[in-house]
Amino acid sequence: MGRTSLEHEEFLRSVDAFHLRVLAEIDYPQSIFRDGKVKDTICIFGSARILSPDECNAMENEERTEKAEAFFQKRKELSSYYVEAYETAKLITNWGKEISKEYHRMAVCTGGGPGIMEAANRGAREAGGPSLGLNIRLPFEQTVNPYVDPNISVEFHYFFMRKLWFLRLSKGVVAFPGGFGTVDELFETLTLIQTGRNNLKIPVILYGSKFWNSIFQLDAMKDYGLIDPLDLDLITYCDSPSEVLEVLKKKVPLEAD
């Protein structure tokens, strides 16, 4: 007798089985979050490349060219966001614990990697709450950080399925400084809210107004008529962890557990 289709690994990895792999990335995370009693989340996005202050200190005395030193100082400047992501996640986690009963509420959820993601997962873990990581297999950069709880976390193969699960349970998004990946997740979230394709108008917070205003000017989109003036109200800028918590408490509806 030959192998059944489920035992045929070559078939399961083939083009013909694409839809089976997609269904698995729908149903498997759903079962993980259900069994882990995770009701809803707050997603924290941000760069995998941002160093912690400890990493910066360890690199401080390395010999560098003038150009490399200037680049290091830029990276060091961003390390404060690591600390603030950590503190933000702790505040959100403590709030979630206060309002949780049978299910985990406002569980911190990240992309599961280094940098800002590590900081947020670390804050959530050390505050004694759930620490979700939705990781993605990449050829570089994206290793799973040690503060992710493996019992309620998932590694994805497909970016689009990972994005679906970022927002599936999300009651809010906090975007710390980041690159292409962070901006992609940010604008996809805004597009889904703007077009009504997301079930709720969840709050979207840009953390670090100085950074984000240096990256893009959203007012220009409004001035050219490319977005509605009210679309700018979808975004709130925050510059401290306490501000983030205040905005979330104000804008996140707290239906019954």
Backbone angles phi, psi at 40, to 5 degrees: -155, 170
What are the sequence ranges of the domains in the chain?
21-49+81-251
Rounded to two decimals, the pTM is: 0.91
Q: Which of 163-167, 201-205, 250-254 has the lowest mean pLDDT?
A: 250-254
Q: How does pLDDT run across 12-62, given as a tens digit for each residue?
A: 777 877 888 888 888 999 999 999 999 999 999 999 999 999 999 999 889
Name the CATH topology of 21-49+81-251: Rossmann fold (3.40.50)
| Mean pLDDT, all residues of the chain | 91
pLDDT score of 142: 62
Cα→Cα distances 6→21, 31, 184, 257, Å: 12, 19, 35, 38
Q: Give the pLDDT score at 1.
A: 46
**How do strand 107-110 and strand 131-136 relate by DSSP bridges?**
parallel
Instruction: State the pLDDT at residue 20.
Output: 82
Task: Give the pLDDT of residue 170.
Answer: 96
